[in-house]
Amino acid sequence: MRNTISVMLIIYNEEKMIKRCLESLKDCVDEIIIIHDGPCKDESLEIAKKYTDKIIVGSRKGLSDYHYIDAINKCTGDWIFKIDADEYLSEGIRDNLREMVKTEEYDCYSFIWPLWNGKRYLTSKWPIKKALFRKNKISFMEMPHINFVPLGKTKETDYMLGHRPDYNNFSFSTLKSKHKKWVDIHAKLFLKKTDEIRTYNKLPEYKLRWVRLRFKYPITLLLFPIKDILFDIFRFRFLDIGGFLSWHISRTCYYCMLYNKVRKLRKHKQ
């Protein structure tokens, strides 16, 4: 068994962040696939060329999720590590990555993905993010902010996947600018039928039912932040009060904005 590892990285003008990410991948993986979301306006690609020659400049779509299926298809490895430019491998992941992919028991690994406010970490043990997947056990429907669905067992690790953007993800200005742009793109998806959305391997039926419900009754979008809040209360994550409030206020605002935008678009379409 080869157990080779591909990294997929979707970027958009990330010259400030990408070097740290690529340095953490050096000597740990077999290939790095980079797709730039539209024409590059900074030095991102010049920096990337020092680490890989597998670079694609795609059309501008505004959200990395709309490049994922193309990236998966470009990956030749048995495993895929999905990472963002403002993320990086911790020493724990680097030291154990090759051992993890030797498994026959698991098809996905998740890592601690602590919340960062631009100056310091707000949490230390959560959220948890799935990032390493066996390629032939991936299912994905091309929808924003929906992770790959592993078609097999997931191993939850204690290793940290570093995530340190150079801004505060939870500030009002971020909600107003970055999230609004995402919402405008995301909402347009709800003008389609679910069978018109690109898919890599069919989603499990229980996932498809949720997707169909969401498209038929967009108000169910508001259940997402409620579900997440209850889940984190049950796990006592509210003890990290700064992280708990920042995370859930941000997510709740996003889904409220999304529902409102979808409602307006559908009303206008009628």
Question: Virtual CA dihedral for 173, 177, 182, 183, nearest 10 degrees?
Answer: 90
Q: Give 264-268's long-range contacts (Cβ < 8 A, gap of 24+).
A: 265/187, 265/188, 265/190, 265/191, 266/190, 266/191, 266/218
Give the pLDDT confidence of 112-161 residue by residue, as tens digits: 999 999 999 999 999 999 999 999 999 999 999 889 999 999 999 999 99
Give the pLDDT confidence of 232-248 residue by residue, as tens digits: 999 999 999 999 999 99
Residue 170, judged by CB atoms within 10 A of its CB (0-12, 13-18, 19+), counts as buried
Instruction: List where CATH 3.90.550.10 sits in the chain.
Output: 5-163
* Residue found under tokens 């200005």: 173
DSSP-derived secondary structure for 110-130: EEE---B-SSSBS-SS--EEE
Residue 228, judged by CB atoms within 10 A of its CB (0-12, 13-18, 19+), counts as middle
- Is pLDDT above 90 for 269? no
Nearest to 46 by CA among 14, 9, 85, 7: 14
Residue 138 vs residues 155, 201, 206: alpha-carbon distances, Å? 15, 7, 16
Give the pLDDT confidence of 14-66 residue by residue, as tens digits: 999 999 999 999 999 999 999 999 999 999 999 999 999 999 999 999 999 99
Domain range 5-163, CATH architecture:
Alpha-Beta Complex (3.90)
- Cβ–Cβ under 8 Å, residues 113 and 128: yes
Q: What integer pLDDT is reported at residue 270 of this predicted model?
A: 67
Separation between Cα atoms, residue 244 and residue 22, nearest integer Å: 30
* Strand ranges, E, within the chain: 5-11, 31-37, 55-58, 79-83, 87-89, 108-112, 128-134, 138-141, 149-150, 154-163, 199-200
Q: What integer pLDDT is reported at residue 176 of this predicted model?
A: 83
Cα–Cα–Cα angle for 14, 251, 21, nearest 5°?
A: 25
- CB contact set of 82 (below 8 Å; sequence gap of 6+): 7, 8, 68, 131, 132, 133, 148
Total residue length of the chain: 270
- Is pLDDT above 90 for 194? yes
Separation between Cα atoms, residue 6 and residue 33, nearest integer Å: 7
